[in-house]
Amino acid sequence: MREIDAEALDLSEFVRPGDLVMWGHGTSEPLTLTEALLAQRHSIGNFRAFVGVTYSQSLKPEQADAVTFLSYGALGSAQALHAKGALDVMPGHLSLLPDLIEQGRLSPDVVLMQLSTPDDRGLHSPGLSHDYLAVAARHARTVIAEVNSQIPWTHCDDAFAGLRIDAVVHSSRPPLCVPDAQPSAIEQQIAARVVELIPDRAVLQTGIGALPSAILRSLTHHRDLGLHSGLAGDGVLDLIEAGAMTNAHKSIDPGISVCGLLAGTQRLYAHVHRNPAWRLRPLRYTHAADVLARIDGLHALNSALEVDLTGQVNAEVVGSRYVGAVGGQVDFVRGAQRSRGGRAITALPSTASGGRISRIVAQLPAGVVTTARSDADVFVTEWGVADLRGQTLKERARRMIAIAHPDHRESLAQAAHAWA
């Protein structure tokens, strides 16, 4: 393993023209490495980069002069790439990314990763994210690690133990922070309805954003909640500190909060540092169908850009703009419905653009279906709750119209009459 001073880092020694470079997504982006890679793109020659959710400002559309960007969606600052035609989206379930890597359908040549400093046993930790990077590193020609002294050391499985690392760069820079967004009055109304569907001892899957934040804030009076999620932010810590989340009654991983990606502030990162009550797990655990089915009371909390009257969900596209992803939504929707006592809850405001556009629609205009109507469970807006399980198309339409904004109900009813 070769140690390289950050000031002398020349990635053209490792990255070749035509290579596919993959790095940790979200808060686990190794910024010293990615910033150098993108700054040196012309000396390297044209290459491809696979990016996930991106919270940094390292990616810019003008970098497409030498880099072909691809991703499983357009999340965070990667949306700007797609808006300028600089991002090619590869839609698919997040749970299948490791399989695509192992099958050679998504074959990384170079992997860049961020690691914590070692613990007393000399073991490094992935720090803020487990995801798919260990699998990618085992199939890559070259692996370069940025060991960041400000990243928390977190418990995980042994996927990173014995991993071949070809070069190491040391850094000390604050981890990327993702503060909770402030919910609107409408989002608080939606949260109040969602909370009524969640019992004590439920195990939660959630994302980040204003609406998930509002839901978590409304759960502080619940008891013995658990966490099994692809992602966790500060809202989860609020529940732990309030005594609402103990993980005490989880049917698997009792007493432990399980997630794949930490995306919060320094407050959360300090809490998870060397904390045995937390585990970072890979996609093959956090999103696996057989694992999710074993979690009693799993409540998947997801959102949508729009939902049609039969329960089809679009979580990816607005007009011609890609602003989301399939991600893990379908994995958790299906997993929650296989869970004993589980629910798959999709929550969204009923309108957009100041009320002019209904987000409950007769048909998905973009033609993009993220979650099929065969997977539909329960939908929540500020106007009510629509449980679609076991319902006919006509009854689904009636229930969805009832939770649409009153200004749009008549036109939705007319559209439904044409086909129902």
CATH number at residue 150: 3.40.1080.10
Taking the CA atoms of 186, 235, 135 and 74 in sequence, report the sign of the dihedral they define.
Answer: positive
pLDDT at site 321? 86
Q: Which of 35-49, 77-91, 154-168, 280-294 has the lowest mean pLDDT?
A: 154-168
176 within a domain of the structure (yes/no):
no
Question: How many domains does the chain divide into?
Answer: 2
pLDDT at site 1? 74
Q: Which domain holds residue 76?
A: 2-171
Which whole number is the average pLDDT over 129-156? Answer: 95
pLDDT at site 11? 96
Confidence of residue 420 (pLDDT cuts 50, 70, 90): low
pTM of the model: 0.96
Burial label, 121 (beta-carbon count in 10 A; 0-12, 13-18, 19+): exposed
User: Per-residue pLDDT for 94 more than 80?
Assistant: yes
Do 115 and 143 belong to one domain?
yes
Do 80 and 203 belong to one domain?
no
Which three-class secondary structure state does DSSP give residue 98? helix
Strand 257-262 versus strand 226-232 pairing type: parallel
pLDDT at site 419? 62
User: Tell me: the pLDDT tens digits for 158-188?
Assistant: 777 788 999 999 999 999 999 988 899 999 9
Backbone angles phi, psi at 199, to 5 degrees: -85, 165
Q: Which of 171, 204, 233 is the last residue of a domain?
A: 171
Do 161 and 217 belong to one domain?
no
d(CA 138, CA 111): 9
User: Which two three-digit tokens encode residue 341?
Assistant: 């006592």
19 within a domain of the structure (yes/no):
yes
Q: What is the DSSP string of 153-167?
A: P--B-GGGTT---SE
Which three-class secondary structure state does DSSP give residue 5? coil
d(CA 400, CA 357): 15
Do 108 and 245 belong to one domain?
no
Do 81 and 108 belong to one domain?
yes
User: Tell me: the pLDDT tens digits for 10-30?
Assistant: 999 999 999 999 999 999 999
13 within a domain of the structure (yes/no):
yes
d(CA 382, CA 249): 31
Do 122 and 218 belong to one domain?
no
Find out whether 324 and 209 touch, Cβ atoms under 8 Å. Answer: no
User: Tell me: the pLDDT tens digits for 48-59?
Assistant: 999 999 999 999
- The percent of residues in the chain predicted with pLDDT above 70, rounded, is 99
Strand 67-71 versus strand 47-50 pairing type: parallel
As a three-state string, the secondary structure of 61-92 is HHHHHCEEEEECECCECHHHHHHCCCEEECCC
Average pLDDT along the chain:
95
Do 227 and 345 belong to one domain?
yes
**DSSP tally for the chain: helices H, then strands E:** 14, 23
Strand 142-148 versus strand 167-171 pairing type: parallel
Closest CA to 116 of 233, 281, 273: 273
**Count of alpha carbons within 13 Å of 382, Cβ hemisphere only?**
18
d(CA 356, CA 348): 15
pLDDT at site 208? 80
User: Tell me: the pLDDT tens digits for 284-336?
Assistant: 999 999 999 999 999 999 999 999 999 999 999 998 888 899 999 999 999 99
Do 160 and 255 belong to one domain?
no
Do 46 and 114 belong to one domain?
yes
pLDDT at site 237? 95
Higher pLDDT, 121 or 266: 266
Q: Which of 123, 147, 171 is the last residue of a domain?
A: 171
Strand 87-89 versus strand 203-205 pairing type: unpaired
Which whole number is the average pLDDT over 35-39? Answer: 97
Do 306 and 413 belong to one domain?
yes
Which whole number is the average pLDDT over 384-398? Answer: 97
**What distances in angstroms separate CA 408 from CA 126, 129, 303, one per listed residue?**
48, 42, 20
pLDDT at site 417? 79
Do 190 and 132 belong to one domain?
no
179 within a domain of the structure (yes/no):
no
pLDDT at site 163? 87
Do 167 and 274 belong to one domain?
no
pLDDT at site 209? 84
Which whole number is the average pLDDT over 328-345? Answer: 97
Rg (CA), the chain: 22
Instruction: Return the CATH number at 199.
Output: 3.40.1080.20
**What distances in angstroms separate CA 258 from CA 135, 141, 229, 231, 365, one per listed residue?**
19, 31, 6, 9, 37
178 within a domain of the structure (yes/no):
no
pLDDT at site 5? 84
The amino acid at 335 = G
d(CA 50, CA 32): 17
Higher pLDDT, 132 or 209: 132
Q: Which of 171, 197, 225 is the last residue of a domain?
A: 171
Burial label, 2 (beta-carbon count in 10 A; 0-12, 13-18, 19+): exposed
Which whole number is the average pLDDT over 379-403? Answer: 97
200 within a domain of the structure (yes/no):
yes
Closest CA to 17 of 48, 40, 58: 48
Which whole number is the average pLDDT over 396-401? Answer: 98
For the chain, percent helix, then strand, then coil, each to nearest 5? 30, 25, 45
Which whole number is the average pLDDT over 261-275? Answer: 97
